[in-house]
Amino acid sequence: MNPVPATCIRIERLGKTFRGQSTPALQAIDLAVAEGEFVALVGASGCGKSTLLRLIAGLEAPSEGQVCLDGRPVQGPGCDRAVVFQDYSLYPWLNVLENVRFCRSLRAHTRDASESEVNSAVERAYALLELMGLDEVRTRYPNQLSGGMRQRVAIARALMAQPRVLLMDEPFGALDAQTREVMHELILRLFEIERSTIVFVTHDVEEAVYLADRVVVLAPQPGRIDSIHPVALPPPGARHPDLKLAPEFLRQKKTVLDRIRATSGVQRDLDKLSRLAELSRRDRRPDAKPATGIH
């Protein structure tokens, strides 16, 4: 039997209120992410899912509570928690290889590096380029690449730093549906090979259920955890795009989607719309004959 995996991130009573705002962006968040686990954060816009990710990254300071990584409280951004942003984070003056190797120009990575470490870093850069399908474009600049390729570079650059956790903030939000599908397969393969711990923010429920071990639904105003849904699907390595059409997958997707609708006020809007549709149907037939068939 496998030993129980160690807790990697522990979030305790975490709260965040931005200056000048009365409603907390996040309130009383408790969550533990295990070593090697893939957790997706979903929720209606304004539920604080990106804020939660930024708090884990140390890019925002908590108003209450704390985030601990391997038992130590997070004080600020650091190379143990690399972030992949939605867009505009690549360095346009560096080519693909230089972008991926960027962290090797920082003191945090070269301070105590022995020669063999430097050599293995070079090898790792090339291995990552190959893994991400970037070896043919390594001398190109970011503005010569498609959106999907740019996000591959951003992911490779984050992995180059060998972070404890990979944090992804709607990384495929700006990509078209086909490219997104390819990126999903890439992420699953990567997750299998690198065994990384990943926290992934998305507004795409299908993406969340397909990729993650657990889906956390956040509710807005104030931002809080509504429910946590363990995903019961084949392990990442055995998932295939066709799974997205399987009844079991759709059922789990619906469970999550229902919670988001219930917490976001979308259900109210949907009810209102169906009432409107009802009214307009009645207006079109003033003699109140029931509508039958299509004209």
Partner 1 sequence: MAADRLWSIRGTLGGVRYLAIAGVGFASFLGGWWLLAGSGLVDAVFLPEPVAVARRLLGWYADGSLFADIKISIGRVLGGFVLAVLMAVPLGIYIGSFRPVQAFFEPLMEFARYLPAVAFVPLVLLWVGIGEGAKITLIWIGTFFQMVLMVSDNIRQVPMAQIEAAQTLGANRGEVVSLVVFKSALPGIVDTLRVTLGWAWTYLVVAELVAANSGIGYAILRAQRFLQTDKIFVGILLIGLLGLLMDQGFRLVHRRAFPWLHLR
Q: Site residues (CB under 8 A) for partner 1?
A: 57-59, 76-79, 81-83, 85-93, 95, 102-103, 105-109, 141-144, 154, 157-158, 161, 167
Q: Tally Cβ neighbours within 10 Å of residue 230.
A: 10
- Nearest-CA neighbor of 182 among 229, 221, 148? 148
Residue number, 126 or 141, with CB nearest to partner 1: 141
**Nearer residue to partner 1 within complex by CB, 46 or 78:** 78
Sign of the torsion formed by the C-alpha atoms of 201, 203, 208 and 213: positive
Pick the closer one to partner 1 by CB: 57 or 131. Answer: 57
Nearer to partner 1, 157 or 229 (CB): 157
| 169 token code pair | 């903030």
d(CA 151, CA 96): 11
User: Whose Cβ is closer to partner 1: residue 144's or residue 267's?
Assistant: 144
- CB nearer to partner 1: pick between 86 and 179: 86
Question: Considering the complex, what minimum distance in angstroms separates the CB of residue 95 from partner 1?
Answer: 8
CB of 226 to partner 1, least distance (A): 28
**Sequence-ordered alpha helix ranges (H) in the chain:** 49-57, 96-100, 107-110, 115-131, 147-160, 177-194, 205-211, 247-264, 266-284
- Least gap, CB of 87 to partner 1 (angstroms): 7
Give the shortest CB-76-to-partner 1 separation in angstroms: 8
Q: Which residues contact 268 (CB under 8 A, 6 or more apart)?
A: none
Calpha distance 194→131 (Å, rounded): 10
Question: Closest distance between partner 1 and the C-beta of residue 157, in Å?
Answer: 7
Q: How far apart, in whole angstroms, are the C-alpha atoms of residue 21 and residue 39? A: 29
Shortest distance in whole angstroms from residue 86 CB to partner 1: 8
